[in-house]
Amino acid sequence: MHAPEQWPPYYARAKGAEVWDLDGRKFVDMSYAGIGSCILGYADADIDDAVRAAIDAGSMCTLNAPEEVELADLLCELHPWADKVRYARCGGEAMAVAVRIARARTGREKVAFCGYHGWHDWYLAANLPQGDALDGHLLSGLAPAGVPASLSGTALPFHYNRLDELERIVAANRGELAAIVMEPVRNNEPVAGFLESVRALANDTGAVLVFDEVTAAFRATNGGIHLRYGVSPDIAVFAKAISNGYPMAAIIGRGDVMSAAEGSFISSTYWTERIGPTAALATIRKHRERDVVRHLEKMGRLVQEGWRSAAERAGLPVTVSGMPALSHFSINLANAQAVRTLFTQMMLDRGFLATNAFYAMYAHSTAQVEQYVAAVQEVFRELATAVECNGVDRLLRGPVAHAGFYRLT
């Protein structure tokens, strides 16, 4: 996805913000932090110690792990509007649980949504029958092969900050919407009144409001990012950063809404294992004790300022966006994809895993970020020269990265 034939696809070891590939080359990871999961850093000693203790105490049993209860109490303490909690192990799976609960609660089938929410049928149904409805929702070109055609028309997309689009969906589907599903915030801030109006629309039409906090939570608050905006959903879903690289997901919600789960079959054996809740408790507590948000924002700001000043000095047309902890930039050129690929190639040569996104980790040090910014200054200058003399393709040592998302395996 970043620099085909050059980006190391497999790793031997990862610690802090450093990664060693199978050839023993060491990189500082200034890219995706384990697809956003390792908010503290790779192989964090405190979380790994807690997990080792859970393994020693028996990580799976016929009985339940008490850490589940402790974690439920902690999540409800952090989100006082929530009364009940269920668990899964992955973000997309937890989102499917949330949608099932919303459908069970309302007896309705349709879901209005904005953004990316995983691979499950309820979501990919949006790309039936045209196949392009999900373009512009983080991941474009997601193929719905294998999703029953009968689900066509059940997942209705709207764009972030486009209340008019959601209003049209609500008006055209009165009495049919089970849920409104969205990230409270991702790349852009909500325009004034947007989240409040979505909340009011959900109330008005009787739909369950689901906030997907899988990626945004714990980046700007010690909990869901919705806490910052004072708008509470009926259900919020957490995964990724809550457990620093160990599979864990939580669906939290208002008691009356969550109770609908009891009327449906929603269960899986490994939702009862002990490592997930143990890692989540340790991660959330460390996150709070160390004021991790402050560090993430500091690193993110340094990176954003570094990109801006490097682009300005080099005369490279770059737009920087995103909250500091989940920063990214875009290159405003017709051959942006090739330039972005060359950026990654040049940064790999300098010992950095780097793309046009930076997911901050607690393990990133100011020194690492400063070294990264110095490398970006050099690389942006070289890119600008390459663009000027039409040399981008000639400098690339592999293919241009593809747009859209494909798995390696």
Ligand X SMILES: Cc1ncc(COP(=O)(O)O)c(C=O)c1O
Instruction: Write out the residues near ligand X by the rule CB under 6 A.
Output: 90-92, 95, 115-118, 183, 212, 214-215, 239
Residue whose C-beta lies closest to ligand X? 91
| Complex with ligand X: residue 75 or 210, whichever CB lies closer | 210
Label residue 56 exposed, middle or buried (CB < 10 Å: 0-12, 13-18, 19+): exposed
Degrees to nearest 5, angle at CA 327 with 221 and 294: 35
Strands 110-113 and 177-182: parallel
| Complex with ligand X: residue 242 or 347, whichever CB lies closer | 242
Secondary-structure percent of the chain, ordered helix, strand, coil, rounded to 5: 40, 15, 45
The amino acid present at 370, given as its one-letter code, is E
Taking the complex as a whole, the smallest distance from the CB of residue 407 to ligand X amounts, in Å, to: 11
Taking the complex as a whole, the smallest distance from the CB of residue 116 to ligand X amounts, in Å, to: 5
Number of C-alpha atoms within 13 angstroms, CB side, residue 57? 15
| Complex with ligand X: residue 84 or 240, whichever CB lies closer | 240
Taking the complex as a whole, the smallest distance from the CB of residue 259 to ligand X amounts, in Å, to: 24
How far is the C-alpha of 349 from the C-alpha of 351, rounded, in Å?
6
How far is the C-alpha of 331 from the C-alpha of 226, rounded, in Å?
30
| Complex with ligand X: residue 67 or 183, whichever CB lies closer | 183
Q: Are 39 and 362 in contact (CB under 8 A)?
A: yes
The amino acid present at 324, given as its one-letter code, is P
| Complex with ligand X: residue 103 or 117, whichever CB lies closer | 117
Q: Are 248 and 94 in contact (CB under 8 A)?
A: no
| Complex with ligand X: residue 117 or 287, whichever CB lies closer | 117
Taking the complex as a whole, the smallest distance from the CB of residue 123 to ligand X amounts, in Å, to: 9
Taking the complex as a whole, the smallest distance from the CB of residue 368 to ligand X amounts, in Å, to: 24
Q: How far is CA 223 from CA 164, 292, 304, 352, in A?
A: 29, 12, 23, 30
| Complex with ligand X: residue 65 or 210, whichever CB lies closer | 210
